[in-house]
Amino acid sequence: MAKLAFLGLGVMGYPMAGHLQAAGHDVRVYNRTAAKAEKWAAEHGGSHAPTPREAAEGADFVMACVGNDDDLRGVCLGPDGAFAGMKDGATFVDHTTVSAKVTSELYSAAKAAGLNFVDAPISGGQAGAENAQLSIMCGGDQASYDAAEPVMNTYAKLCRRIGESGAGQMTKMCNQIAIAGLVQGLSEALHFAEKAGLDGRAVVEVISQGAAGSWQMANRYETMIDDKFEHGFAVDWMRKDLGICLSTADETGASLPVTALVDQFYKDVQNMGGGRWDTSSLFKRLRALG
């Protein structure tokens, strides 16, 4: 078993770190709000540290799942950052969804410090983290990935190296682009059924068995119909991710008209006070339009 550090105990990181400790690893955690790190250690039996550097000292692998580019830089760099505490040859695994730009920056900084760096954003939501059923898309050197894969498999249903550094983040962008269009399409279908006086549940029972079926349909249609939007990834975080997608599309020359449109629909949801609602709340926006 390995000596590990886990930085960031949000709705994803908290159970992920728990799975690692339960698997027999020696896990030390860090969280910006220290009380949550103390609670995690009391619940799972691991330890906690007051800074990323102290959490990372002596660790074979340091896993991170924080909020955004600046949060990730904050836990990696500087005198109290994880890179300053990691031993030579240790591996940093970033599960945060961030820009390819910051991934490139931190990969280079890690290499200069004698460390390995794997970008490994995740998909599967809070339920996937709690049930160890995450999909992990990775970028980085093959040897670094090979070393980290058995650790990541503790909470993964699928873990795959897509390519060199940054490829994991680019793949996560593809994931968010696909989800945005799917959720809007499902929302419009349910809205249309409602306006036409149809039983939405009966409609989905039929259409889900054909080409219209999707994970979103199978797992979200009932809560959408019931006007419940506390079951997944928050709109605020989705807009952060879609902003990364759209910015990167400008750099690469990709055309993302549907993504840009749905991003504006999510802005409408935020203006309705729904920043913490889950992404299926696009349906609530349509209901509000009448």
Domain boundaries, the chain: 3-164, 171-289
Write out the DSSP string of 146-191: HHHHHHHTTSEEEEEEEESTTHHHHHHHHHHHHHHHHHHHHHHHHH
Residue 1 binned pLDDT confidence (cut-offs 50, 70, 90): confident
* Per-residue model confidence as pLDDT tens digits over 133-148: 999 999 999 999 999 9
Q: Which residue has the tokens 């070393």?
A: 147
- Which position among 111, 172, 228, 284 bears the catalytic label? 172
* Per-residue model confidence as pLDDT tens digits over 154-180: 999 999 999 999 999 999 999 999 999
* Per-residue model confidence as pLDDT tens digits over 22-65: 999 999 999 999 999 999 999 999 999 999 999 999 999 999 99
CATH number for region 171-289: 1.10.1040.10
What does pTM read for this prediction? 0.93
Secondary structure letter of residue 114 according to DSSP: T
What distances in angstroms separate CA 222 from CA 200, 203, 232, one per listed residue? 9, 12, 14
Please, which residues bridge with residue 28 across strands? 5, 47
Active site residue 228: no
What distances in angstroms separate CA 181 from CA 45, 91, 247, 279, one per listed residue? 42, 35, 18, 11
Residue 252 has pLDDT above 90, yes or no: yes
Count of all residues that appear for the chain in the document? 290
Write out the DSSP string of 18-81: HHHHHTT-EEEEE-SSHHHHHHHHHHHS-EE-SSHHHHHTT-SEEEE--SSHHHHHHHHSSTTS
CB within 8 Å of 154: residues ≥ 6 apart: 19, 20, 23, 25, 132
Nearest to 262 by CA among 172, 169, 211, 188: 188
* Per-residue model confidence as pLDDT tens digits over 208-223: 999 999 999 999 999 9
Q: What is the pLDDT of residue 166?
A: 97
Nearest to 115 by CA among 79, 61, 163, 65: 61
Residue 161 near residue 120 (C-beta atoms within 8 A): no
* Per-residue model confidence as pLDDT tens digits over 100-136: 999 999 999 999 999 999 999 999 988 899 999 999 9
The CB density around residue 236, as the number of other CB atoms within 10 Å, is: 15
- CATH 3.40.50.720 applies to domain 3-164: yes
Q: What is the pLDDT of residue 290?
A: 83
Q: What are phi and psi of 138, to 5 degrees?
A: -120, 150
Residue 56 CA to residue 161 CA, distance in Å, equals 24
Q: What percent of the chain has pLDDT over 70?
A: 100
Mean pLDDT of 256-281: 98
Residue 151 has pLDDT above 90, yes or no: yes
